[in-house]
Structure 1
Amino acid sequence: MVWAPSLVRRLIRHRLVQAGVVGAVGLAMVTTVSAKAAVLDGQRAEWGEPAAVVVVTEPVAPGEPVMGATEIRRLPLALTPPDAASYVSPDSLAKVALYPGEVVLSTRLTLPGRSSGGSSTAALTLPVAVQSPLLVEGDLVDLWIVDGADLSSSRVAEHVSVLAFSERDITVAVPNGQIERATAASLRPVIVTRIG
Structure 2
Amino acid sequence: MSSDTAPGAVQLIVPKRFGDARGWFTEVYSAAAFAKRGITCQFVQDNHSLSQPKFTLRGMHFQTPPHGQDKLVRCIRGRIYDVAVDVRRDSPTYGQWVGAELSAENGHQLFVPVGFAHAFLTLEEDCEVSYKVSGQYAPECDGGIRWDDPAIGIDWPMPEGTVPETSDKDKLLPLLADFDSPFEYNGVPLSPLPVSA
Fold shared by both chains (TM-score > 0.5): no
Greater Rg over alpha carbons, structure: 1
Structure with the bigger percentage of helix = 1
Higher relative contact order (CA 8 A, sep 6+): 2
TM-score normalised over the length of structure 2: 0.22
TM-score normalised over the length of structure 1: 0.22
